[in-house]
Structure 1
Amino acid sequence: MTTDIENIFNNYPQITKSTLIKLRELIYTVAQEQNLGAVEESIKWGEPSYSTINGSPIRIGFKGTSCYLFFHCQSKLVITFRELYSHNLTFEGNRAIVLNSEKPLPEYPLKACIKLALTYHSVKHLPLLGA
Protein backbone atom coordinates (compact mmCIF):
# COMPACT_ATOMS: atom_id res chain seq x y z
CA MET A 1 0.00 0.00 0.00
CA THR A 2 1.47 3.34 -1.02
CA THR A 3 1.62 6.24 1.41
CA ASP A 4 -1.13 8.06 -0.51
CA ILE A 5 -3.48 5.08 -0.29
CA GLU A 6 -2.57 4.51 3.36
CA ASN A 7 -3.39 8.16 4.11
CA ILE A 8 -6.81 7.75 2.50
CA PHE A 9 -7.57 4.69 4.64
CA ASN A 10 -6.30 6.43 7.77
CA ASN A 11 -8.71 9.32 7.16
CA TYR A 12 -11.78 7.08 6.89
CA PRO A 13 -14.15 7.04 9.88
CA GLN A 14 -13.45 4.07 12.12
CA ILE A 15 -16.91 2.59 11.51
CA THR A 16 -16.17 2.16 7.78
CA LYS A 17 -12.39 1.81 7.80
CA SER A 18 -12.28 -1.85 8.85
CA THR A 19 -14.91 -2.82 6.25
CA LEU A 20 -13.05 -0.99 3.48
CA ILE A 21 -9.79 -2.67 4.47
CA LYS A 22 -11.56 -6.05 4.35
CA LEU A 23 -12.86 -5.22 0.86
CA ARG A 24 -9.32 -4.34 -0.25
CA GLU A 25 -8.04 -7.64 1.16
CA LEU A 26 -10.86 -9.52 -0.59
CA ILE A 27 -9.88 -8.00 -3.94
CA TYR A 28 -6.27 -9.12 -3.50
CA THR A 29 -7.38 -12.57 -2.30
CA VAL A 30 -9.60 -13.13 -5.35
CA ALA A 31 -6.84 -11.97 -7.71
CA GLN A 32 -4.40 -14.39 -6.10
CA GLU A 33 -6.85 -17.32 -5.98
CA GLN A 34 -7.70 -16.82 -9.66
CA ASN A 35 -4.06 -16.30 -10.74
CA LEU A 36 -4.93 -12.93 -12.30
CA GLY A 37 -1.48 -11.42 -11.92
CA ALA A 38 -0.66 -8.11 -10.36
CA VAL A 39 -3.36 -5.87 -8.97
CA GLU A 40 -2.80 -2.21 -9.73
CA GLU A 41 -3.78 -0.03 -6.79
CA SER A 42 -4.34 3.64 -7.57
CA ILE A 43 -6.46 6.60 -6.58
CA LYS A 44 -9.45 7.59 -8.72
CA TRP A 45 -11.84 10.35 -7.69
CA GLY A 46 -10.12 10.45 -4.31
CA GLU A 47 -10.79 6.79 -3.54
CA PRO A 48 -8.75 3.57 -3.80
CA SER A 49 -9.16 1.78 -7.14
CA TYR A 50 -8.06 -1.73 -8.09
CA SER A 51 -7.60 -3.34 -11.50
CA THR A 52 -5.95 -6.23 -13.29
CA ILE A 53 -4.77 -6.48 -16.87
CA ASN A 54 -8.00 -8.12 -18.16
CA GLY A 55 -10.35 -6.52 -15.67
CA SER A 56 -12.56 -3.54 -15.14
CA PRO A 57 -11.57 -1.26 -12.24
CA ILE A 58 -13.16 -1.63 -8.82
CA ARG A 59 -13.24 1.49 -6.67
CA ILE A 60 -14.09 1.39 -2.96
CA GLY A 61 -15.54 4.18 -0.85
CA PHE A 62 -18.19 5.11 1.68
CA LYS A 63 -21.14 7.38 2.39
CA GLY A 64 -22.35 7.53 5.99
CA THR A 65 -22.18 4.01 7.38
CA SER A 66 -22.47 2.38 3.95
CA CYS A 67 -19.49 1.06 2.05
CA TYR A 68 -19.49 0.86 -1.73
CA LEU A 69 -17.79 -1.14 -4.43
CA PHE A 70 -18.04 0.99 -7.57
CA PHE A 71 -17.84 -0.46 -11.09
CA HIS A 72 -17.77 1.06 -14.56
CA CYS A 73 -21.38 2.13 -15.17
CA GLN A 74 -21.35 1.24 -18.86
CA SER A 75 -20.25 -2.35 -18.23
CA LYS A 76 -22.57 -5.32 -17.75
CA LEU A 77 -21.21 -5.90 -14.26
CA VAL A 78 -23.86 -4.52 -11.90
CA ILE A 79 -26.70 -5.66 -14.17
CA THR A 80 -25.27 -9.19 -13.98
CA PHE A 81 -24.61 -8.98 -10.23
CA ARG A 82 -28.22 -7.90 -9.68
CA GLU A 83 -29.51 -10.88 -11.66
CA LEU A 84 -27.28 -13.34 -9.82
CA TYR A 85 -27.19 -11.95 -6.26
CA SER A 86 -30.17 -9.62 -5.69
CA HIS A 87 -31.20 -11.83 -2.78
CA ASN A 88 -27.80 -11.35 -1.07
CA LEU A 89 -26.62 -7.89 -2.10
CA THR A 90 -27.93 -4.33 -2.38
CA PHE A 91 -27.18 -2.20 -5.44
CA GLU A 92 -27.18 1.46 -6.39
CA GLY A 93 -28.09 2.06 -10.00
CA ASN A 94 -25.82 0.39 -12.51
CA ARG A 95 -22.58 1.23 -10.78
CA ALA A 96 -22.32 0.04 -7.17
CA ILE A 97 -22.76 -2.68 -4.58
CA VAL A 98 -23.80 -1.12 -1.26
CA LEU A 99 -22.79 -2.73 2.03
CA ASN A 100 -23.71 -1.88 5.60
CA SER A 101 -20.41 -1.46 7.46
CA GLU A 102 -22.08 -2.53 10.70
CA LYS A 103 -22.88 -6.02 9.33
CA PRO A 104 -20.57 -8.88 8.32
CA LEU A 105 -19.54 -8.93 4.67
CA PRO A 106 -21.43 -11.42 2.49
CA GLU A 107 -18.14 -12.94 1.38
CA TYR A 108 -19.33 -15.55 -1.15
CA PRO A 109 -21.30 -13.24 -3.46
CA LEU A 110 -18.72 -10.46 -3.08
CA LYS A 111 -15.88 -12.75 -4.14
CA ALA A 112 -17.90 -13.88 -7.15
CA CYS A 113 -18.61 -10.26 -8.15
CA ILE A 114 -14.99 -9.23 -7.66
CA LYS A 115 -13.86 -12.15 -9.81
CA LEU A 116 -16.20 -11.10 -12.63
CA ALA A 117 -14.94 -7.50 -12.44
CA LEU A 118 -11.26 -8.50 -12.38
CA THR A 119 -11.78 -10.75 -15.43
CA TYR A 120 -14.38 -8.61 -17.21
CA HIS A 121 -12.64 -8.12 -20.56
CA SER A 122 -12.20 -11.89 -20.89
CA VAL A 123 -15.83 -12.73 -20.07
CA LYS A 124 -17.91 -9.75 -21.22
CA HIS A 125 -19.09 -11.59 -24.34
CA LEU A 126 -20.49 -14.54 -22.33
CA PRO A 127 -24.08 -14.80 -21.04
CA LEU A 128 -24.11 -13.67 -17.39
CA LEU A 129 -20.37 -13.07 -17.85
CA GLY A 130 -19.81 -16.82 -17.66
CA ALA A 131 -20.94 -17.02 -14.04
Structure 2
Amino acid sequence: MTRPFDNPQVKAVFDGFPPDIRDMALTLRDLIFEVADDTPQAGRIEEALRWGQPSYLTPETKSGSTLRIAEAKGGGCAIFAHCATDIIGTYAATFHDCERIEGNRAVIFKDPSDIEPDRLRLLIFHGLTYHLN
Protein backbone atom coordinates (compact mmCIF):
# COMPACT_ATOMS: atom_id res chain seq x y z
CA MET A 1 0.00 0.00 0.00
CA THR A 2 1.42 3.34 -1.03
CA ARG A 3 2.07 5.82 1.75
CA PRO A 4 0.12 9.09 1.42
CA PHE A 5 2.02 12.10 0.15
CA ASP A 6 2.65 14.92 2.63
CA ASN A 7 4.10 17.19 -0.03
CA PRO A 8 1.64 18.13 -2.82
CA GLN A 9 4.49 19.18 -5.13
CA VAL A 10 6.07 15.73 -4.88
CA LYS A 11 2.68 14.11 -5.49
CA ALA A 12 2.27 16.27 -8.61
CA VAL A 13 5.57 14.97 -10.00
CA PHE A 14 4.50 11.36 -9.42
CA ASP A 15 1.11 12.08 -10.99
CA GLY A 16 2.89 13.53 -14.04
CA PHE A 17 4.93 10.39 -14.74
CA PRO A 18 3.68 8.13 -17.54
CA PRO A 19 1.79 5.18 -15.96
CA ASP A 20 4.59 2.61 -16.41
CA ILE A 21 7.20 4.98 -14.95
CA ARG A 22 4.85 5.99 -12.11
CA ASP A 23 4.38 2.35 -11.09
CA MET A 24 8.14 1.80 -10.90
CA ALA A 25 8.69 5.14 -9.14
CA LEU A 26 6.05 4.30 -6.53
CA THR A 27 7.69 0.92 -5.95
CA LEU A 28 11.03 2.65 -5.35
CA ARG A 29 9.37 5.22 -3.07
CA ASP A 30 7.71 2.46 -1.03
CA LEU A 31 11.06 0.70 -0.66
CA ILE A 32 12.73 3.89 0.58
CA PHE A 33 10.09 4.35 3.28
CA GLU A 34 10.19 0.64 4.22
CA VAL A 35 13.95 0.75 4.69
CA ALA A 36 13.67 4.03 6.59
CA ASP A 37 11.08 2.50 8.92
CA ASP A 38 13.55 -0.33 9.64
CA THR A 39 16.50 2.05 10.12
CA PRO A 40 15.92 4.10 13.28
CA GLN A 41 19.39 5.65 13.09
CA ALA A 42 18.28 7.47 9.93
CA GLY A 43 15.53 9.30 11.78
CA ARG A 44 12.60 10.91 10.02
CA ILE A 45 12.68 10.88 6.22
CA GLU A 46 11.75 14.07 4.43
CA GLU A 47 10.27 13.81 0.95
CA ALA A 48 10.96 16.97 -1.05
CA LEU A 49 11.79 18.14 -4.55
CA ARG A 50 15.45 18.60 -5.45
CA TRP A 51 16.31 19.40 -9.04
CA GLY A 52 12.61 18.89 -9.75
CA GLN A 53 12.82 15.25 -8.66
CA PRO A 54 11.30 13.46 -5.66
CA SER A 55 14.11 13.32 -3.11
CA TYR A 56 14.54 11.57 0.21
CA LEU A 57 16.61 13.19 2.95
CA THR A 58 17.46 12.61 6.61
CA PRO A 59 17.12 16.19 7.90
CA GLU A 60 17.25 15.53 11.63
CA THR A 61 20.10 13.02 11.88
CA LYS A 62 21.88 14.03 8.66
CA SER A 63 22.87 10.37 8.52
CA GLY A 64 22.18 9.95 4.84
CA SER A 65 22.96 11.21 1.41
CA THR A 66 20.01 12.34 -0.70
CA LEU A 67 18.36 9.66 -2.84
CA ARG A 68 16.23 10.76 -5.79
CA ILE A 69 13.72 9.06 -8.09
CA ALA A 70 13.22 10.18 -11.68
CA GLU A 71 12.43 9.09 -15.19
CA ALA A 72 15.66 7.98 -16.87
CA LYS A 73 16.72 9.89 -19.98
CA GLY A 74 16.98 6.75 -22.10
CA GLY A 75 13.67 5.40 -20.82
CA GLY A 76 12.67 3.65 -17.65
CA CYS A 77 12.91 4.80 -14.07
CA ALA A 78 15.99 5.44 -11.96
CA ILE A 79 17.11 5.84 -8.40
CA PHE A 80 19.90 8.41 -8.10
CA ALA A 81 22.54 9.00 -5.44
CA HIS A 82 24.94 11.91 -5.15
CA CYS A 83 27.73 11.30 -7.66
CA ALA A 84 30.48 12.15 -5.12
CA THR A 85 29.47 9.17 -2.95
CA ASP A 86 30.23 5.47 -3.42
CA ILE A 87 26.57 4.44 -2.98
CA ILE A 88 26.00 3.36 -6.60
CA GLY A 89 29.55 2.04 -7.02
CA THR A 90 29.25 -0.18 -3.96
CA TYR A 91 25.92 -1.49 -5.21
CA ALA A 92 27.38 -2.24 -8.65
CA ALA A 93 30.40 -3.98 -7.11
CA THR A 94 28.17 -6.10 -4.88
CA PHE A 95 25.85 -7.15 -7.70
CA HIS A 96 27.96 -7.65 -10.84
CA ASP A 97 24.96 -8.80 -12.85
CA CYS A 98 22.83 -5.93 -11.65
CA GLU A 99 20.53 -3.57 -13.39
CA ARG A 100 21.80 -0.92 -15.77
CA ILE A 101 24.18 1.38 -13.90
CA GLU A 102 24.84 4.94 -15.00
CA GLY A 103 28.31 5.74 -13.72
CA ASN A 104 28.29 6.52 -10.03
CA ARG A 105 24.93 8.32 -10.25
CA ALA A 106 22.05 5.94 -10.90
CA VAL A 107 20.54 2.50 -11.17
CA ILE A 108 18.09 2.35 -14.06
CA PHE A 109 15.10 0.04 -14.41
CA LYS A 110 13.48 -0.53 -17.80
CA ASP A 111 10.69 -2.75 -16.50
CA PRO A 112 9.01 -3.28 -13.10
CA SER A 113 10.39 -6.83 -13.01
CA ASP A 114 13.91 -5.31 -12.98
CA ILE A 115 13.29 -3.95 -9.48
CA GLU A 116 14.64 -6.51 -7.02
CA PRO A 117 13.59 -5.28 -3.57
CA ASP A 118 16.11 -7.30 -1.55
CA ARG A 119 19.02 -5.92 -3.54
CA LEU A 120 17.71 -2.37 -3.54
CA ARG A 121 17.17 -2.38 0.22
CA LEU A 122 20.97 -2.57 0.55
CA LEU A 123 21.46 0.44 -1.72
CA ILE A 124 18.78 2.43 0.12
CA PHE A 125 20.17 1.50 3.55
CA HIS A 126 23.62 2.62 2.40
CA GLY A 127 22.13 5.90 1.19
CA LEU A 128 20.17 6.56 4.40
CA THR A 129 23.17 5.82 6.62
CA TYR A 130 25.97 7.05 4.37
CA HIS A 131 27.42 9.55 6.87
CA LEU A 132 27.36 7.01 9.71
CA ASN A 133 29.87 4.67 8.05
Q: TM-score, normalised by structure 1?
A: 0.88
SS in 2 for 1:56: coil
Aligned counterpart, 2:76: 66
Structure 1 segments, 4+ long, off by >3 Å, are none
Percentage of pairs with the same residue: 31
Q: What residue in structure 1 maps to residue 32 of structure 2? A: 27
1:33-44 equivalences under 5 Å are 33-35=38-40, 36-44=42-50
Partner SS for 1:70: strand
SS in 1 for 2:79: strand
AA partner of residue 78 (structure 2): Y
Matches of 2:47 and 2:112 in 1, distance apart? Answer: 25
**Aligned residue in 2 for 1:90:** 100
Q: Deviations over 1:55-91 (max 9, x none)?
A: 0000000135411111110111111111101223321
Corresponding pairs, count? 123
- Counterparts of 2:21 and 2:10 in 1: how far apart (Å)? 15
User: Are positions 1:7 and 2:12 aligned together?
Assistant: yes
SS of match in other structure, 2:113: coil
Amino acid at match of 2:47: E
8 Å contact from structure 1 (residues 88, 106) kept in 2: no
RMSD: 1.3
Q: Does 1:54 align with 2:60?
A: no
Superposition deviation, residue 34 in structure 1: 1.6
* Contact 1:15–1:65 (Cα < 8 Å) also in 2: no
Which consecutive unaligned segments of at least 5 residues does structure 1 have? 124-131
Q: Give the structure-2-normalised TM-score.
A: 0.86
Q: Extract unaligned runs of 5+ from structure 2.
A: none
Deviation, structure 1 residue 110: 0.4
Equivalent residue of 1:103, what SS? helix
